[in-house]
A and B are shown apart, each in its own frame.
Chain A
Amino acid sequence: MYKKRSDGRKFDEIRPTQAKVGIIKRADGSAMFQIGKTIAIAAVYGPRELYPKFLQDHSKGILRCNYNMMSFSGSGERVRPGGSRRSKEISMLTESALSPVLDLSEFPGAVVDVFVEILQSDAGTRCAGICAAAMALADAGFNMKDLVSAVSVGRVEDKLVTDLDNVEEHYENEREVADIPVAIMPRTGKITLLQMDGICSKEQLSKALELAQEACKKIYAVQKKALTEKYKI
């Protein structure tokens, strides 16, 4: 029985969330997204010419994402700088989570670079990174069908929980935790990122996805507010 979350949150409650856009002046678009203690910063550069040339797509522009944890952003030991297998995978997942909303047909041969840096981590960094990246792309003024909001949901013992923190991710009995990062297009509810670590029944999984939909509505509101605040007249 999982009775109480370490920070006293309700099981379906997300951590306090903050967002800001336009924080990096040199970039074409940028954003910060913080959920609990996890802080992600994203910057967009482009469209710009893509090299080496054979990577170019002559029908549309390409989205290229790079996710990186700063060396001091882990809770334990220093994270070795430079790419890891994990950061490579997350970079690729970030690309595929954002691609469905982004229209780059106007920019054949070009690349749009999104750089995500994690300043501090307390679980949920890939979701925070996706939230920040989506806002940075919107800030840069690209054609987008929708924003993307992301959160991790899951199971701890008998309870379904929203927005797992580090304590839950490293729960003492690791067989009793399932971590499910989900990214959602908020207007349609369509899913653009879905992963799971751990074991869930089909019923639990459906319920968890409902929790993700609810949580993403709240996250979307925070993202939208940050964007409209920058561009209000």
Chain B
Amino acid sequence: MNIIKNHIHALLEKDQRLDGRKLDEIRKNITIEYGVSPNSAEGSARVKIGNTEVVAGIKFEVIEPYPDQPDKGTIMAGVELLPLSSPEFESGPPNIWAVELARAVVDRGLRESGAIDFKSLCIKKNEAAWAVIIDVYSMNDDGNLADAIGLCALAALKDAKFPKYDEKSKKVIYEERTNKGISLKEMPIPITVIKIKDKILVDPSLDEEECADARLTITTLEDGRVCALQKGEREPLTIEDVEKMIDLSIKKGKELRKLFK
């Protein structure tokens, strides 16, 4: 690892990266595939960024609305870093990294952006509302799982169709799906930027992640506003760093936004 680390450092001095990308360049081969589990999940998708791959699925459940939000439904986000996707990941309940990704990238991005109108998920005030459950699984970790997970959750939501709900029996009829989808008012796009020494780079590869002194995942909206931030790793960032990183994430967010059109 040290040899690679030294090499990454040396290249960065010349503004170069191990895989030949520019510092502000996202891997070119990004793909979004919809409906990867079309018969089981009400919505599903696969996102690949280079060799990094994740899948996401949506399940709907009907819940009693929370007492403080009687006319709203809710979303629940889960991320699992499968041991199938990397020799570094272990079996067991979601570890802190998986929890961070679920909360900081998927849940916060969707919640704070107002992407989903929680009122539209209400079926009957005080009695029944939809819970949209988003589960994202890593399939192959080759760096920057965070952005892949965020994009994949969005894609699966876009793919989702509500199942039928029978108000009399208070049961969801999963075999029958309606044509109604979840209307997404915003597309919150997460972009992860890392700092190695004094260089700032986007879409880190696995080796670059290992060298990261600081990391910031920035989720932006179409109009350039920021809707979620999550800083990681041990080194501090200056205000100038943060500003630079946000500019970069707005620019890159625009590029990725095109994938959904």
Contacts and interface: CB of A to CB of B under 8 A. Distances in A.
A73 B142 contact: no
Nearest to A30: B84
A71 B37 CA distance: 11
A81 interface: yes
A120 B135 contact: no
B84 A117 contact: yes
B85 interface: yes
B192 interface: no
Nearest to B135: A71
A113 B141 CA distance: 17
Contacts of B39: 37, 75, 120, 122
Interface string B85-97: 1110001010000
A78 B172 CA distance: 12
B213 interface: no
A115 B82 contact: yes
Interface residues of A, number: 31
Contact of B57 (A45, A48, A70, A75): A70
A172 interface: no
B87 A119 contact: no
B41 A72 contact: yes
B138 to A, nearest CB: 10
Nearest to B38: A120
A113 B55 CA distance: 21
A106 B40 CA distance: 41
B37 A66 contact: no
Given A39-B37, A119-B55, A120-B37, A26 B135 contact: no
A221 B261 CA distance: 41
A117 B82 contact: yes
A102 interface: no
Given A81-B78, A119-B55, A72 B135 contact: yes
Contact of B137 (A70, A74, A82): A70
Interface in B17-67: 36-42, 44, 51, 53, 55, 57-59, 61
Interface of A: 24-27, 37, 39, 41-43, 45, 48, 66, 68, 70-78, 81-82, 113, 115, 117, 119-122
